[in-house]
Structure 1
Amino acid sequence: MPTALITGCSSGYGLETARHFLAQGWSVIATMRTPRDGLFAKTDRVRILALDVTDPQSIAAALEAAGPVDVLVNNAGIGVVGAFEATPMAHVRKVFETNTFGVMAMTQAVIPQMRARRSGVIVNVTSSVTLAPMPLAAAYTASKQAIEGFTGSLAHELAAFGVRARLVEPGYAPTTRFAANTDIPVADLIPEAYAAFAGPIFAGFANPALTTRESDVAEAVWRAATDPSDRLRYPAGADAMALAAAS
């Protein structure tokens, strides 16, 4: 029975993806910073492990407890919405520590076992902002764009060992609470000079023409994990697919 280790499973895309893999008969290692009960129907095919992707010791402990992993899904991430001018560099670094360096650290930690078995898939969840950068998300966009380039290069590097690297690019999903993990109120990141510019953008966030469902992302991750082809990118959601087609 194949095993998927998925980061950021406490809610949103990660939780829905874990449930999707379970529904397909897989074993799942569902990781999150603070484990909690009640997320999954009772089954012996899921284990919940504590994992902070910014902490090397936490990564090592989680992978040791997980055992062999067939698929790694790097889903954990944090968002930030606001004018870059007003975003403290300490918070920019925090975004990169999770969205970029956390993904790289998890990937680096799992490669040796996959390379030794000459099989495995690494799925990195980025965002449709890599297809069409949006305003008031410069730091977040940069952190995800870095993973796009990283994964594209990695796919070439690992192909000789039978290991695949893929990208899933979700569109906008209001239910994921994009900036919920930030410790800075959005209002503090919108200086008065940006208020007129930001108003219509936030109105668009509240009433998007197209949105992405969590199930769309879970299905895209599943396809990326099980597709035997050399495909790299998997847009998720109608808005992301439209952007991918236009780019």
Structure 2
Amino acid sequence: MSPASTVLITGCSSGFGLETARFFLDKGWRVVAAMRTPREDVLPPSERLRVLPLDVTDIASIRRCVDAAGPIDALVNNAGVGMAGPLEAIDLNHARTVYETNTLGTIAMTQAVLPQFRQRRAGVVVNVTSTVTLAPLPLLSVYTGSKAAVNAFTESLALELAPFDVRVRLVLPGRSPSTSFGNNARRLMSEDVPEAYAEFTQGVFAAIRDTSTPVTYAEDVAEAVWQAVTDPAAPMRIPAGADAVAAATAAR
């Protein structure tokens, strides 16, 4: 793909999506940065940048975004929401939000761009999931399930689209102290945690916040997405971050 190519990235207001948008802009690409609440100020001004509103849980919003974006060469499904807590305390409405965003949102965005990719016999879809699907952690059962579903979806879809020369890849970040995942996860966690889990929960969250061991930085994810988009020989699963590489190696 040439520097004049266009990438549509979801969830660009912060974290991995924001850094990935910056990375592609620096490489000379045209970037469509989609976010629930558009903010032009989070990215450097550029004639190659467009910021569009997008709610991946709303089909009408998806259609408006894809129509406004026009022809694209790559889709990066990065938008997601975290959830943490013992399953006994999980509000099922919150769990539905996680699956609607992480799983069905990814599926719906992909479905919306496939006709143009198929007709041109070109295009790349990159889905950002998580290494918790390789090395499960406690208190993340709902979140892990939503991301593991995307892994399976992606690997099956890759076989389906190969005859049309459309590539589909996965990027699996590790634990990142530089994103809003922790805050979002705790926001969706029920305050009514059973007493039996209280001490255990505190210990797990302390471990999640610990930066004394290898972690993943937003730059790691941006570089992995770049590889997935631009390298036809890139593997199906690309770990992003030192801890992610270690988890992937252990899983193999």
The question of 1:236 aligning with 2:224 is answered: no
Take 1:111 and 1:37, find their aligned partners in 2: how far apart are those partners?
Answer: 27
Partner of 1:220: 224
CA contact (8 A) 1:83 1:189 kept: no
C-alpha contact 1:28 1:47 (8 A) present in aligned 2:
yes
Q: What is the alpha-carbon distance in structure 2 between the residues aligned to residue 136 and residue 229 of structure 1?
A: 36
Contact kept in structure 2, 1:82 and 1:189, CA below 8 Å: no
Relative to structure 1, is the Cα distance of residues 79 and 229 closer, same or farther in structure 2, using a 3 angstrom cutoff? Answer: same
User: Which residue in the other structure is 2:129 paired with?
Assistant: 126
1:165-217 per-position Cα deviation (integer Å, ceiling 9, x unaligned): 00000000011121433584646153211012223212211214111010000
Question: What SS does structure 2 have at the residue aligned with 1:181?
Answer: helix
Q: 2:177 aligns with which of 174, 179, 191?
A: 174
User: Could you say which residue in structure 2 is the equivalent of 1:114?
Assistant: 117
- Give distance in 2, aligned partners of 1:152 and 1:185: 29
Cα distance in 1 between the residues matched to 2:192 and 2:151: 26
Report which stretch shifted further, 190-199 or 177-186.
177-186
Structure 2 residue 49 is matched with structure 1 residue 46? yes
Contact 2:89 2:190 in 1 (8 A): no
Is the counterpart of residue 153 in structure 1 residue 147 in structure 2? Answer: no
Q: Give the distance between the partners of 2:186 and 2:64, measured in 1 at CA.
A: 27
Between 1:35-44 and 1:106-115, the stretch displaced more is 35-44
Aligned pair 1:58/2:66, yes or no? no
Q: Report the RMSD for the aligned CA atoms in angstroms.
A: 1.3
Letter in 2 for 1:44: E
Spell out the pairing of 1:66-105 with structure 2 (5 A cutoff).
Answer: 66-105=69-108
Give the counterpart letter for 1:237 in structure 2.
G
Per-residue CA shift, 1:103-129, capped at 9, x if unaligned? 000000101100000000000000010
Moved more, 43-52 or 205-214: 205-214
Following superposition of structure 1 onto structure 2, how do residues 19-38 of structure 1 map, counting pairs within 5 Å?
Answer: 19-38=22-41
| Whole-angstrom CA distance in 2 between matches of 1:221 and 1:240 | 14
Letter in 2 for 1:174: P
TM-score, normalised via structure 2 length: 0.95
TM-score, with structure 1 as normaliser:
0.97
Classify the secondary structure of the residue corresponding to 1:180.
helix
CA contact (8 A) 1:5 1:31 kept: yes
Equivalent pairs counted in the alignment come to 247
Deviation at 1:231, TM superposition (A): 2.0
% identical aligned pairs:
56
* In structure 2, distance between residues paired with 1:97 and 1:179: 19
SS in 1 for 2:52: strand
Whichever residue aligns with residue 225 of structure 2, its letter is: V
* AA matched with 2:64: A
Structure 1 unaligned residues grouped into runs of 5+:
none
Structure 1 residue 139 corresponds to structure 2 residue 139:
no
5+ long unaligned stretches in structure 2: none
